[in-house]
């Protein structure tokens, strides 16, 4: 199936289909120079499936992991483009998770002031969330996504079959963002999670396409109204203020992004009935619902993250499953959610 | 006087007036964090005139010169923003020549995916040309402007009084781009150059505002029609294909940008009468009209510069003063213009 995203001056398709990795050439002109950016944990068979379709392809492989979203690898990708004589009308393809997509998108946004870019996300997290929306970035020191650009891809190809090679923890990790999408914008998606079994094999065989489609549709509708996050788009941050703090607190030994967001959502949900339903779904998906960090530590991290935005924070609340609202709070008011 | 530039989603004013450096606060909200980026050759009095208007200002000083348009200084500016807790709604001001404007604009385009940016050009070259158009960039190795973004400033302030501290060579250097503007888009501007004396003091007292205004208006009209250089905007490159090669050939010991463009314009002008008029104007402005580099060397540089764009080059011709046309040529055809 195909989801079309329409943002002022940019219109592109998300192709969601099992096996679509073999068919990219049917939708995008690959008869030009193509740089494939991937990471060293992506199975070779996926890289080769893509290379086979590109008569003039180049490969740039980064190390897997968040620490690769840095300056050094940004330069590495720029130089791969420059050294191989890429022009504005050539193409860069990101084949990997969110890190690969973010840094590749930023390199494409800035090389020659903007060139074509295609995203092929390979993790549940990136298929469900980070492949759509046009936010590209790198980290600076320990500050995430502080430097970047809004740069929409020419197309996104989502092949649920490639999820087979993901380990269990990463498989479930990405589903947290789909649970979030249900919470803020699609009660039916949330109910789907309530009805289905938690078994990975069953989810992958029978539910995953539906989950991805529904989650992307929630995000698409929000991003189309507010590409550059001046207002509405903030609702996508449900669970993220506290979640990011939990993620930072644990550093490398801690939780994955989706896992931290799972806990963050539970922490900010006040309605008892909603909270219970949320915990049930997350538990079924092997996602954590509590954390062990002192409130003081989390508060310090939030204060540090937010110093740039002044003393107020925007918290996203879900008064009813499928609906979100934005509440501006003084930083001190975060205490009760930690 | 005020020139308004209107580009899709961006509208901003260029304020052109003697002494306007003292009055920036009347047009732009400076009651927020302000990072002033400048270079170490800008007289302190200009920096202080600006600081006086900003209750919460920070200073980042880069070394003067083209070699500062690099990765290291880009990081330096990003870190100055991050370390001082700048947010999306704070402000960066570039106070300097083209190098300062280009790298500062790029840092502003990418910090938090885009923040407010004001340009205060202090050289004839940047006042006449590089302060308008929204092209921001850095160099990568020896390749100029290969990485960057289109990012329009909130406002541009042009104060002809600050030109007083420029040395003669740099003063005349910038006028070459105004001669170019006359050649491609404003016969009256070109005729103004023919009528006026070459004496710097007279130009500065009686002509400079008129020259800047006319040159900016030519550029504004072109940029408004083609912000991202997909077609028409290429006419601004009149004299630049050969000029850039001459500039590169000389490296640090060679010609300044405007000087090289002066020679480049002469080289590509075929009509005898136009060529004579052009040489007369450039000579009056102390600008060179010939070069001493072997054609083979220039051709190699052009081939290297253009490798990304394929084997064709777009040459800009001026069939009549005030009019430009674009001609696509195979690379080999450049020989006769070297």
Q: At what angle do helices B168-185 and B208-225 cross, to 10 degrees?
A: 50
- The alpha-carbon gap from B88 to the nearest alpha carbon of chain A, in Å, equals 8
What interface predicted TM-score (ipTM) does this complex get? Answer: 0.89
Tokens of B150: 């289109």
Q: At what angle do helices B208-225 and B187-195 cross, to 10 degrees?
A: 160
Residue B307's pLDDT band (cuts 50, 70, 90): low
- Residues of B with CB below 8 A from A149's CB? 109-110, 113-114, 149
Which residues does A163 contact at the CB level (< 8 Å), separation at least 6? A122, A123, A124, A127, A171, A204, A208
Taking the Cβ of residue B85 and every Cβ of chain A, the question of whether any pair is shorter than 8 Å is answered with yes
- Residues of A with CB below 8 A from B135's CB? 113
From A9, which residue of chain B is nearest by alpha-carbon distance? B8
Q: Do A78 and B307 touch (CB under 8 A)?
A: no
- Residues of A with CB below 8 A from B147's CB? 78, 110-112
Closest by Cα among A318, A194, A327 to A267: A318
Closest by Cα among B295, B263, B292, B259 to B279: B263
pLDDT for position B308: 46
A9, A44, A113, A272: the catalytic one is A113
Closest by Cα among B315, B310, B309, B305 to B335: B315
Q: Do B112 and A228 touch (CB under 8 A)?
A: no
Instruction: Report the alpha-carbon distance of residue A104 to residue A34 in Å, rounded.
Output: 13
Nearest to B82 among A88, A112, A140 (CB): A140
CB atoms within 10 A of CB A284: 17
The 8-class DSSP code of residue B338 comes to -
> Is A33 exposed, middle or buried (CB count within 10 Å of its CB: 0-12, 13-18, 19+)?
buried
What residues pair up with A5 in beta bridges, in sequence order? Answer: A12
Backbone torsion region of residue A251, taken as left when φ is above 0, otherwise alpha when ψ lies between -120 and 50, otherwise beta? left
pLDDT for position A326: 93
Instruction: Report the alpha-carbon distance of residue B217 to residue B136 in Å, rounded.
Output: 20
Residues B127-134, mean pLDDT to the nearest whole number: 88
Nearest to A85 among B85, B140, B307 (CB): B307
Question: Which is it for strands A116-121 and A155-158: parallel, antiparallel or unpaired?
Answer: parallel
> Is B331 exposed, middle or buried (CB count within 10 Å of its CB: 0-12, 13-18, 19+)?
middle
Instruction: Report the alpha-carbon distance of residue A11 to residue A16 in Å, rounded.
Output: 16
Taking the Cβ of residue B280 and every Cβ of chain A, the question of whether any pair is shorter than 8 Å is answered with no
Taking the Cβ of residue B72 and every Cβ of chain A, the question of whether any pair is shorter than 8 Å is answered with no
Decide if pLDDT at A142 tops 90: no
Nearest to A78 among B113, B114, B147 (CB): B147
Which residues does A151 contact at the CB level (< 8 Å), separation at least 6? A105, A106, A108, A109, A114, A117, A134, A136
- Residues of B with CB below 8 A from A71's CB? 71, 75
Handedness of CA A307, A311, A317, A323 (dihedral sign): negative
Q: Do B148 and A110 touch (CB under 8 A)?
A: yes
Mutating which of B113, B139, B307, B331 best tests the A interface, going by the most A Cβ atoms within 10 A? B113
Instruction: Tell me what the pLDDT averaged over chain B comes to.
Output: 93
Q: Do B148 and A113 touch (CB under 8 A)?
A: yes
- pLDDT digit string, tens, across residues B140-192: 987 889 999 999 999 999 999 999 999 999 999 999 999 999 999 999 999 99
- pLDDT digit string, tens, across residues A193-233: 999 999 999 999 999 999 999 999 999 999 999 888 888 89
Residue B306's pLDDT band (cuts 50, 70, 90): low
- Residues of A with CB below 8 A from B71's CB? 71, 75
Instruction: Report the alpha-carbon distance of residue B258 to residue B97 in Å, rounded.
Output: 13
Question: Can A84 be counted among the known catalytic residues?
Answer: no
Q: Do the beta carbons of residue B128 and residue B181 sit within 8 Å?
A: yes
- pLDDT digit string, tens, across residues A253-265: 689 999 999 999 9
Q: Do the beta carbons of residue A314 and residue A234 sit within 8 Å?
A: yes
Question: Which is it for strands B91-96 and B34-39: parallel, antiparallel or unpaired?
Answer: parallel
pTM for the full predicted model: 0.92
Taking the Cβ of residue A83 and every Cβ of chain B, the question of whether any pair is shorter than 8 Å is answered with no
Tokens of A232: 């509405």
Nearest to A86 among B75, B109, B308 (CB): B308
> Is A298 exposed, middle or buried (CB count within 10 Å of its CB: 0-12, 13-18, 19+)?
buried
Using DSSP's 3-state secondary structure scheme, residue A316 falls into: strand
Largest CA distance in chain A: 59
């Amino acid at each position: 199936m195909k989801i079309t995203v329409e943002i002022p001056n940019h219109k592109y398709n998300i192709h969601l289909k099992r096996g679509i990795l073999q068919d990219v050439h049917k939708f995008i002109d690959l008869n030009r120079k193509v740089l494939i950016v991937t990471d060293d944990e992506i199975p070779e068979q996926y890289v080769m499936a893509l290379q086979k379709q590109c008569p003039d392809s180049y490969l740039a492989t980064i190390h897997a992991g968040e620490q690769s979203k840095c300056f050094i690898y940004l330069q590495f990708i720029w130089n791969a483009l420059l050294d191989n004589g890429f022009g504005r009308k050539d193409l860069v393809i990101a084949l990997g998770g969110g890190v690969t997509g973010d840094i590749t998108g930023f390199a494409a946004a800035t090389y020659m002031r903007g060139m074509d870019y295609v995203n092929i996300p390979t993790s549940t997290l990136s298929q469900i969330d980070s492949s759509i929306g046009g936010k590209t970035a790198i980290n600076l020191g320990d500050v995430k996504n502080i430097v970047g650009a809004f740069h929409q891809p020419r197309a996104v190809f989502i092949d649920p079959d490639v999820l087979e090679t993901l380990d269990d923890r990463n498989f479930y990790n990405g589903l947290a963002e789909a649970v979030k999408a249900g919470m803020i914008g699609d009660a039916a998606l949330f109910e789907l999670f309530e009805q289905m079994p938690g078994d990975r094999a069953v989810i992958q065989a029978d539910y995953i396409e539906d989950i991805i489609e529904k989650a992307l549709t929630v995000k698409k509708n929000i991003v189309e109204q507010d590409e550059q996050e001046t207002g509405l788009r903030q609702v996508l941050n449900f669970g993220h203020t506290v979640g990011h703090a939990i993620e930072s607190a644990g550093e490398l030994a801690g939780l994955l992004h989706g896992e931290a967001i799972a806990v963050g959502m539970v922490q900010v949900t006040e309605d008892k009935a909603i909270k219970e339903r949320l915990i049930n779904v997350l538990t079924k998906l092997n996602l954590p619902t509590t954390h062990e960090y002192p409130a003081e530590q989390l508060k310090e991290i939030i204060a540090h993250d937010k110093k740039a935005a002044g003393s107020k924070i925007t918290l996203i609340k879900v008064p009813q499953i499928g609906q979100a609202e934005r509440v501006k709070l003084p930083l001190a008011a975060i205490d009760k959610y930690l």
